[in-house]
Amino acid sequence: MANPVDPLDETIHTKARLGILVVLATEGPLDFPALRAALGLTDGNLSSHLRTLEEAGYVAIQKQFRGRKPSTRIRLTPTGREALETYLEQLARLIQQVLPDGRPRPPT
Query: Which tens digit of pLDDT belongs to each residue from 50-103?
Result: 999 999 999 999 998 888 888 999 999 999 999 999 999 999 988 888 887 767
Is pTM beyond 0.75? Reply is yes
What CATH number is attached to the domain comprising 78? 1.10.10.10
The pLDDT score that the predictor gives to residue 19 is 98
Range 85-89, long-range pairs (CB < 8 A, 24+ positions): 86/9, 87/8, 87/9, 87/12, 87/13, 87/18
For residue 59, being part of any structural domain is answered with yes
6 inside domain = no
Does the pLDDT of residue 104 top 80, yes or no?
A: no
pLDDT digits over 60-69, tens only? 999 988 888 8
Average pLDDT over residues 14-40: 97
Is 58 a domain residue? yes
Q: Is 33 among the domain residues?
A: yes
Domains held by the chain: number: 1
